[in-house]
Chains A and B, each alone.
Chain A
Amino acid sequence: MEYVNPLTGLRIDGRRPTEMRHLKAQIGVVSKADGSALFEMGNTRVIAAVYGPREVQNRGQQMNNNEALVRCEYSMANFSTGDRARKPKGDRRSTEISLVIRQTMEACILTKLMPRSQIDIFVQVLQADGGTRSACINAATLALADAGIPMRDIVTSCSAGYLCTMPLLDLNYAEDSAGGPDVTVGILAKMDKVTLLQMDAKLPLDTFETVMQLAIEGCKAIAQYIREIMLQNTKQLECRRGS
């Protein structure tokens, strides 16, 4: 199947190879959470809720008294994929993605400022169309900023692939299930450091560098968008509060 039309150079959903899907974010969607956000990348829609810093619920898990404990749970809603029948939590893929998101966010939260406390990040996929991992990390960043938790930098994530001898940015589900390589990159936007790098399938090294560079460009574009959303939200809250 031709994922990139040889005549027009467009992909199956009409995007150019280095074009990202439409982004949309909304802060403050879960009223009970300390911070929450809804993040959309094309048809992939993800909601993140952050609770914390709060008292550690399970004393046994509290390993280090000098730092906050970061917990993360990833789940997909039953109705998020094409076929409904799916066990939303506890299966291997969800556990792996929970671990990945936790490690990524733990790298950027300043945990030493909140000793003896716990930060819970709950991410749920409402609509899955490829790139759910990246959308979850972006949503978690927004939710953490909304909750007022100090962070080193904005973490953003984007995926890129290589199909029909072309590097493609931000794969959707059809392109992802083509069997080609899928590189997911998570970076600290301003410090320009990589916190997450995952790939499935195989790629020769020079092609890998091109694809990874493309994903990093995508991450930087998302970081700019996220920054605008956060700034707009902060200005709105401050001006409503008044003097």
Chain B
Amino acid sequence: MRDLHLSLNQTQRVRLQAALDQLESDASSTAASAASVTVADTIPVNHEDNILKGHGTSDLDGQVVATLCGVVERVNKLVYVRALRSRYKPEVGDIIVGRVIEVAPKRWRLEINFSQDAVLMLSSMNLPDGIQRRRTAVDELNMRSIFIENDFICAEVRGFQHDGSLHLQARSQKYGKLEKGQLLTVPPYLVKRRKQHFHHLEQYDVDLILGCNGFVWVGQHVDTTTKESTLLSDEPSDKEETNNAVPPETRRNICRIANAIRLLSVIGLTLSVESVTETVEESVRANVQINEMLGAEFYVQTVEREAQRRASLVRKRR
């Protein structure tokens, strides 16, 4: 989601410009933007060292030249260019959210914002009865009862296949089908790899899953400990009637959190559970209506707050 088409009045425009200028000056004081390059820029490199040319670089007449627009990173002898807005770059062990696009023999194909679709094998998925056994032909015919097209699944990257596409696994209880919530797409560079990607926001009774591929799930909290016990008992086939509808208060919380994530991704700030909860609390404190969160005034306030927060961090560091 790129820029929201906001109609700012004159004071809001001035305030926004002042806050953005402050962000830029803070960034330049930490020399973050000094290493930005564009396509075909020469990367300054000390030629005596044996420099390893990493991603986003190529060799042209003995000079190291960038092939992407981004920031140059140097790690020991490795020089590479980190592109900002690009598709997801997977690593083994990442937690991702994907959408089923095809049910194929013994596997599901998921769309995950990568250059190829990912594959979730039937054997990498827990069966509904929870027993560990060999998948039979009956299981293969009943694949549709587990996941169908356009379902959202949370899974983990198991590895790469020979043709470069991803292999996923969803063997734990916390992985699986996601229901009763919203999915948001944000640029993958805003989601950093952390130790925890599953967050349970207790005060709102909401689950937040920050997928590394830029798919973020906000939904009603599902208790994974009780999930296991209900799976073993006989589950009636029509689940919709037995499950309760999501209460209105939880729905409002889900929408508020989703709008906070949309706002942060449009401004371009890194997404983390702290920044999202802070934005939500701020909106509640300022009595902003849920639909007004994507409006001009709250947008300007959020940018100002971020500029102040970074300025205080820079001051603390000195």
Contact = CB atoms under 8 A, between A and B. Distances in A.
Given A117-B116, A148-B69, A242-B270, A53 B87 contact: yes
Contacts, number: 131
Interface stretch (A95-103, A166-174, A210-218, A225-233): A225-233
B149 to A, nearest CB: 15
B238 interface: no
A110 B310 CA distance: 38
Contacts of A240: 20, 23, 267-269
B146 interface: no
B10 to A, nearest CB: 22
Contact of A238 (B71, B164, B306): B71
Nearest to A28: B2
B196 interface: no
Nearest to A55: B117
Contact of A234 (B2, B23, B70): B70
Interface in A64-115: 65, 68, 110, 114-115
Given A191-B60, A242-B27, A243-B32, A148 B40 contact: no
* Residue among A52, A114, A238 having the largest count of chain B Cβ atoms under 10 Å: A238
Contact of B33 (A30, A55, A235): A235
Contacts of A236: 24, 268
B2 to A, nearest CB: 4
A145 B39 contact: yes
A71 B10 CA distance: 43
* Residue among A29, A54, A65, A237 having the largest count of chain B Cβ atoms under 10 Å: A237
Contacts of A22: none
Contacts of B41: 227
A153 B270 contact: no
A197 B82 CA distance: 34
Given A116-B163, A238-B27, A241-B189, A148 B33 contact: no
Contact of B268 (A114, A150, A241): A241
Contact of A54 (B1, B28, B115): B115
A151 interface: yes
Nearest to A31: B2
A153 B115 contact: no
Interface in B144-165: 163-165
B28 A239 contact: yes
A239 B163 CA distance: 36
Interface in A1-39: 28-31, 34-36
Contacts of A183: none
A54 B36 CA distance: 26
Contacts of B24: 235-236, 239
B32 A114 contact: no
A146 B224 CA distance: 40
Nearest to A110: B67
Nearest to A151: B39
Interface in B51-69: 56, 58, 60, 65, 67-69
A63 to B, nearest CB: 16
A163 interface: no
Interface of A: 28-31, 34-36, 52-55, 65, 68, 110, 114-117, 145-154, 189-191, 227, 230-231, 233-243
Interface of B: 1-3, 20, 23-24, 26-28, 30, 32-33, 36-41, 56, 58, 60, 65, 67-71, 83-87, 111, 115-117, 163-165, 189-190, 267-270, 306, 310
7 contacts: A55-B116, A65-B163, A117-B115, A150-B68, A154-B38, A154-B40, A231-B37
